[in-house]
Amino acid sequence: MGTRKTSYEKARDAFMSRQGHLRTAEAIHLGIHPRTLYSMRNSGLVEQINRGLYRLAEFPPPGNPDLVSVALKIRGGVICLISALSFHELTTQIPHQVYVAIERGAEPPRLDFPPIRVFWFSGAVYAEGVDIHDVDGVPVRLYSPEKTIADCFKYRNKIGIDVCVEAVRMYRQHRKLNIDDLYRFAKICRVEKIIRPYLEAIL
């Protein structure tokens, strides 16, 4: 007969099944008693990286903990605008908040840390152009480079037209152009006429 697993071992297996990260509600759903979770935290087996969010300590520290935290805590969120530009290396801006798009009508996110800036997207503006990237073993939803540039022009009054122009220039310098996608997303964001002269200037 095999030996029965301890509560710690069962909890570790649950963490491993979720790439080393669990929210409190998920842990309880997977059969981890809160007392076990807190004991593992106190003994250093898991680390609390946010309120209600834990990481198995044996996993390497995340290289981008802010994006990981937002992805795990805001399940319907999509990393957007300056945060997405930074991820795609299309800006020299250093985002001091995580820019995240939420579908209009969804429950407002509650997050103590990292600081976030929420934008409410709807319809195709929210749904189109979403890519999933593996960030430290966690699937993170981000808008593609082309969709991000279109979004930036849509919200140019909030983030600055200079950020948009720089993104277009860096996109031209560092990436294979996908003009069809750029114009498709510009049309979805209703900025096709606005973005056209900037694109024509770099072609």
Q: Are 149 and 164 in contact (CB under 8 A)?
A: yes
Beta strands in the chain (DSSP E): 21-23, 46-50, 53-56, 78-79, 98-103, 116-121, 130-135, 138-143
pTM: 0.72
Residues ≥6 apart with Cβ < 8 Å to 155 = 81, 119
pLDDT tens for residues 5-18? Answer: 788 788 888 878 77
Residue 120 and residue 80 in one domain:
yes
Residue with tokens 């080393």: 20
Work out how many domains the chain is built from and give that number. Answer: 2
Question: Of 107, 95, 101, which Cα lies nearest the Cα of 159?
Answer: 95
Joined tokens for residue 146? 């082309």
pLDDT tens for residues 51-81? Answer: 777 877 777 666 677 888 888 888 899 999 9
Residue 96 lies in a domain: yes
Residue 90 and residue 32 in one domain:
no
Residue 47 and residue 117 in one domain:
no
Task: Tell me the residue range of the domain where 31 lies.
Answer: 7-56
Residue 40 and residue 133 in one domain:
no
pLDDT tens for residues 157-190? Answer: 999 999 999 999 999 887 778 889 999 999 999 9
| Residue 57 CB-half CA count within 13 A | 10
- DSSP code string of 81-121: HHHHHHHTT--S---SSEEEEEETTSPPP--SSS-EEEEEE
Residue 33 and residue 92 in one domain:
no
Considering only residues 102 and 35, tell me which one the structure prediction assigns the higher pLDDT: 102
